[in-house]
Structure formats: C-alpha cells, structure tokens
C-alpha cells in the first residue's frame, strides 16, 4: 500500500473511468497532457456490467461510440449493457489510457495551489481534477423503507439483476421511470406485479421501428443535444425541472404495462403493519419491493466550497470558476439534456479539456514571465 505521506503527483487527475472519464482521457492524450484516471470498480465498464441483465441502450449503435472509435455493432442495433461495458474496456486498451481500477476516492480537497486526493491508502496531488462521474452514484430510498417487514425482500434498481433474486409472491415496484417500467415488464412474467407512481410522459413512437431507428431518434437527439441546453432560453427555463424529474418513458409505453397485467397503484406514502402503504389507504401484501426511486450525486467526499443550497455543485458548463482547475463531466443536464448520455459526453469532455489546456498555458506564461523578471532583476543588480 502506498504511503499517504508521499503522494503521487500528476498534472491532471480524472475521477471516474466510465464513458465520461475515458473520453476526457482521450482528449487529454490528444493534447499530450499527463494524466491518470481513477475508477472505483475492479474492471473498466463495470458501471454498465453490474446493471440488470436485460438492460439495453435506448440509442442505436451509431450514436454509442466515443471519439476515435466507432461502436462495433450494426449501426441500427441497440447494444446490451454488457456490449457497452466491453466496448469501454476495449476503448481504454485501444488508446492505452492510464486507468487505475479498484481505487475509490475518499476525499478531494485543496492545499495551496494543488488538489489533494485520498483513495484508501493512496494519496495524489494534481494541478487539475476532472470529476467524470454520472449523477447516479448513490441509490436513494425513502426513510420509511426500514419500517417494512424484514421478511419483505427489498432491492434498489442498482442491485436488481433478474427475477431469480426475488422471493415467491407479489412484487411492488416503486417509481415509473425507465428503469421501473423496464423492470416491471420483466418481473410481471413470473410474479404478480404492482407499479407505484405516475410516469413523466413517454416518447410517442416505438424506437425499434424503422422510422424510430433512422428518423425519429435523430429528431429527439437533436432536440436534447442542441435545443434543450443552457445556451437556449427554453433550455434554461426547463433545466431546473428536468434535472430532478424522471425522464419520459422511452422504450416502454403505458399501454405495454397494462397489456402485461401490471396493476398500477398510487404513490407509496409510508408503511402500515409492516406493509407498503399507498395514498389511497391500501396496505399492499407483497413479498418483494424494488425501489426505482432514483439516485443522489454521492459527492460527500468533495471537501471544497462548491455546493449550492440544493447540495448540487455550482459550475458553468462543467467549469467551476470558484475553484480554478476543477471540472465536472457526465452529470445530468450539465450543459444539455444529453450531457449524461454516451453521445452527449464528448462535447462536455472536450470543453473541459480545452479549459485545462488554456489554464496550463496561462500558468506556464505567468511562470515564464516571473522567471524573466527575476533574471532581469539579477542582470541589473
């Protein structure tokens, strides 16, 4: 184990080795900037590999490649989560990106003009830090979940893999976002299933059809990538709501849930006699609860004065002006509605790296000027 008293120094440290961190690494390498990527998972791509078994991307493969390397699948196919995970692993190997896996960051702070990062027994110092992690880091469940009967099997969507994990008996799925709808359809094949909550609308076409794959997905992506951004009036107006609201259903439609025999119920409001209580007063007799209730950013390890009253980091298009040298990539609606998607990450990653290049150039210029002034003073001494 490395001695934390003798930190490893690196010019730029990237925290997170998913699609955001690898893309940042690609652009840093293009500029010849020394860097190191830290990732908590044991294997590159595990953030995808460890999701539920049947998960597939919502965009065709033509949109799922990162800069410099196309996705190795038919352009109109929807990759599985394992194909995406393997692609990220191959991407890092192809570009020889320096990724240190199994390294979970415990703290990010600042001492003088350098950032200090501790990760277990390791310590790092850096001039620049890019936090390249998505908004889905820490599972969120209501406080009353602990009051449920201990015989009820509880899983968060982050832990769910397949129906084999569930006990015999009914299943309550809480949350009607894309994960809740996808999991409900799968679970309903083998278990009586209740689905609690109301969806935030749905995409009004089938993404798997010819029109969906080749035409409509382009329109939706254009709107999310170029219209719903912080640079447009409509994007700025909708961003506060869209950041914290579940996305519209993409693959599953409400009528699919009905056709599968899934029983829709009101919002879960608490617990009664150890059972989940819905707002209409019913206590549901279930053997399993799957919480599809979202995530928090999980940034408690960042010990820097960069957070607003809502607990979210304050930045301008990923650049933290209050702490020079700190950047974010991969967060939901960081710049656009697509900022946390595979196809949206490259633009934000490039912006962060361009800012790093400018900063390093500015620091070098200031240093050269200082050296020149000191040399001139000695010459005239």
- Label residue 85 exposed, middle or buried (CB < 10 Å: 0-12, 13-18, 19+): buried
Residue range(s) occupied by CATH 3.50.50.60 in the chain? 8-137+297-369, 139-202+248-291
How confident is the prediction along the chain (381 residues), in pLDDT tens digits per residue? 444 568 999 999 999 999 999 999 999 999 999 999 999 999 999 999 999 999 999 999 999 999 999 999 999 999 999 999 999 999 999 999 999 999 999 999 999 989 999 998 899 999 999 999 876 778 889 999 999 999 999 999 999 999 999 999 999 999 999 999 999 999 999 999 999 999 888 988 999 999 988 899 899 899 999 999 999 999 999 998 888 777 889 999 999 999 999 999 999 999 999 999 999 999 999 999 999 998 887 899 999 999 999 888 999 999 999 999 999 999 999 999 999 999 999 999 999 999 999 999 887 554 445 444 444 444 455
φ and ψ at 296, to 5 degrees? -110, 165
What CATH number belongs to 139-202+248-291?
3.50.50.60
Instruction: Give the per-residue pLDDT at 73.
Output: 96
Contact at 8 Å (CB) between 278 and 264?
no
**Encoding tokens for residue 15?**
């925290």
pTM: 0.90
For 148-199, write each residue's pLDDT tens digit: 999 999 999 999 999 999 999 999 999 999 999 999 999 999 999 999 999 8
State the CATH class of domain 8-137+297-369: alpha beta
Q: Which of 55, 46, 121, 56 is nearest to 85 (CA)?
A: 46
Instruction: Give the per-residue pLDDT at 364.
Output: 59
HEC string of 275-322 equals EEEECCCCECCCCEEEECCCEECCCCCECCCCECCCCCECCECCECCC
For 329-381, write each residue's pLDDT tens digit: 999 999 999 999 999 999 999 999 999 999 998 875 544 454 444 444 444 55
Instruction: Give the per-residue pLDDT at 376.
Output: 47
Q: What distance in Å separates the CA atoms of residue 217 and residue 345, rounded to the nearest whole number?
A: 17
């Amino acid at each position: 184990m490395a001695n934390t008293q003798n930190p490893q120094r690196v010019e730029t440290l990237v925290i997170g080795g998913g699609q955001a961190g690898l893309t940042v690494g690609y652009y840093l390498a293009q500029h010849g900037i020394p860097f190191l990527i830290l990732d908590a998972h044991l294997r590159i791509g595990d953030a995808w590999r460890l999701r539920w078994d049947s998960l597939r991307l919502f965009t065709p493969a033509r949109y799922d490649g990162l800069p410099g390397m196309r996705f190795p699948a038919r352009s109109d196919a929807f990759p599985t989560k394992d194909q995406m995970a393997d692609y990220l692993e191959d991407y890092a190997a192809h570009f020889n990106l320096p990724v240190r896996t199994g390294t979970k960051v415990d703290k990010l702070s600042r001492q003088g003009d350098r950032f200090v990062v501790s990760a277990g027994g390791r310590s790092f110092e850096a001039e620049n830090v890019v936090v390249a992690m998505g908004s889905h880091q820490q599972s969120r469940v209501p406080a009353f979940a602990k009051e449920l009967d201990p015989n009820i099997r509880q899983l968060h969507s982050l832990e769910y893999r397949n129906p084999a994990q569930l006990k015999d008996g009914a299943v309550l799925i809480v949350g009607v976002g894309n994960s809740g709808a996808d999991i409900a359809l799968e679970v309903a094949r083998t278990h009586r299933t209740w689905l609690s909550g109301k969806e935030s609308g749905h995409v009004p076409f089938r993404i798997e059809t010819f029109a969906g794959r080749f035409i409509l997905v382009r329109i939706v992506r254009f709107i999310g990538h170029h219209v719903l951004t912080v640079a447009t009036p409509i994007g700025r107006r909708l961003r506060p709501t869209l950041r914290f609201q579940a996305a519209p259903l993409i693959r599953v439609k409400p009528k699919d849930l009905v056709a599968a025999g899934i029983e829709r119920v009101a919002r879960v409001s608490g617990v009664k006699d150890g059972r989940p209580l819905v707002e209409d007063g019913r206590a549901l007799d279930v053997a399993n609860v799957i919480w599809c209730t979202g995530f928090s950013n999980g940034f408690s390890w960042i010990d820097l004065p960069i957070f607003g009253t809502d607990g979210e980091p304050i930045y301008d298009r990923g650049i933290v002006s209050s702490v020079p040298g700190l950047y974010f990539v991969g967060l939901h609606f960081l710049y656009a509605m697509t900022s946390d998607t595979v196809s949206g990450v490259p633009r934000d990653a490039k912006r962060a790296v361009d800012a790093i290049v400018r900063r390093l150039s500015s620091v070098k210029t200031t240093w050269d000027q200082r050296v020149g002034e000191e040399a001139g003073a000695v010459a005239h001494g």
